[in-house]
Amino acid sequence: MILVLALQPLPGVAASSQNLDDSVNKVRDAMVARQTGVQVYFYSWKDFMKDAAVRDELFYAACSEEHSDSYNTGAYLKSNVKSCDVSTQKIGEDPPRWKVTFRNIVYRTDAEQEAEFDVKLQEVMAQLDIQEASDYEKCSAIYDYITSHVTYDHDAYQAHLQGDDRGYDLAYTAYSALIHGKAVCQGYATLFYAMCRYAGLEVLMVDGIAQNDDGWGEHAWNLVRIDGYWYQADPTWDSESSVMGYRYFLQGTDTFKKHRLNLDYTQDSFTSTHIMPVNSYKNSLNENPLIRLFKKIKGILLGE
């Protein structure tokens, strides 16, 4: 994010004083609508001439779970915004009144693609028919759908490794995962987030590093709340796995050894409100349906 102190008026935007929360919501709604610019006015004692204040108190807040009111806000929105320019101006005192303008907001998807995604999402969720299901059953059905319908975009990954993935913006989106059936880890995690939110589940997108055949590298996956606890789930790796089963589904901190969360998710401020068990989810249903069938057939053949 670039802080630009020079201010040019934004055409067609009327001045209106709001509190900070109202301004955060206005920025959020503008980005959900894929507007390329938005201007807000508010009172605050914080110094918004500092870039960190604009970043944390406006941009990050607009993309936070606290200000998320639908599947396409929160982490879904944050993962879609690539860049923007920001200008800020102090226009009053006691208390200070601020004018902040976001310009040249660049998104990974446009409004038309988001409308297409919304229609497809509603269609898929209706087909899953999980309105009356338990939280575990909802989560399992969503995970099954993603891991069986989305494949990994290796071309986008290689472009990323080479430092030039400008032509692969969609690979990082839930749109590409759902509409094209192809994405990198961020696209998988964003789709899982959107579908879980749509189904009424508490879910987060998280990031960190994970260890695969190439060593440790940046990765994105999810935390989802089931029966009061937050479990980790990695639909990317289960879609890529040649072994049937939920190897990376609803895992605990001690059963997810190849994944390391970033420090933000290991601080007391986070872990005290997002309790993550050390073990995976203990439930007889926590298996791939094919594995359950295999075990049942094996039991019959062995007379168990």
Looking at the fold, whether 118 and 252 belong to one and the same domain comes out as yes
Last residue of one domain, picked from the residues 74, 90, 107: 107
Q: Please check whether residues 145 and 240 belong to one and the same domain.
A: yes
Q: How does residue 11 score in pLDDT terms, banded at 50, 70 and 90?
A: very low
Q: Are residues 17 and 151 in the same domain?
A: no
Please check whether residues 242 and 122 belong to one and the same domain: yes
Q: Residue 110: is its pLDDT beyond 50?
A: yes
Q: How many residues does the chain have?
A: 304
pLDDT of residue 258: 92
The count of structural domains within the chain is 2
Q: In which band, very low, low, confident or very high, does the pLDDT at 295 lie, cut at 50, 70 and 90?
A: low
* 47-80 pLDDT tens trace: 999 889 999 999 999 999 999 999 999 999 999 9
Same domain? For 145 and 19 the reply is no
**Residue 83 is part of a domain; what is its CATH number?**
3.30.110
Among 73, 89, 107, residue at a domain's last position: 107
Residues 89 and 190 in one domain: no
- pLDDT, one tens digit per residue, over 141-159 is 999 999 999 999 999 988 8
Q: In this predicted model, which residue has the larger pLDDT, 174 or 15? A: 174
The CATH number of residue 282's host domain is: 3.10.620
The answer on 102 and 78 residing in a single domain is: yes
Rounded to the nearest 5°, which phi and psi values hold at 26? -65, -40
Where are the strands (E) in 11-116, listed by range?
A: 17-18, 38-43, 81-92, 97-107
How would you label 25-64 residue by residue, b for 16+ Cβ within 10 Å and e otherwise?
bbbbebbbebeebbbbbbebeeebeeeebbeebbbebbbb
pLDDT for 296? 53
Distances (CA, A) of 159 to 163, 211, 213: 6, 19, 18
Residue that terminates a domain, selected from 77, 107, 137: 107
pLDDT in tens, 169-213: 999 999 999 999 999 999 999 999 999 999 999 999 999 999 988
Query: Are 280 and 159 part of one and the same domain?
Result: yes
Same domain for 280 and 156?
yes
pLDDT by residue (tens digit) across 209-245? 999 888 899 999 999 999 999 999 999 999 976 555 5
Q: How far apart are CA 40 and CA 33, in angstroms?
A: 16
Residue 291 is predicted with a pLDDT of 56
In this structure, are 290 and 253 located in the same domain? yes
Taking residues 106-130, report their average pLDDT: 98
Q: Which domain holds residue 42?
A: 2-107
DSSP 116: H
- Give the pLDDT of residue 242: 53
Cβ proximity of 87 and 9 under 8 Å: no
pLDDT value of residue 203: 98
> Are residues 80 and 141 both part of a single domain?
no
Residues 89 and 179 in one domain: no
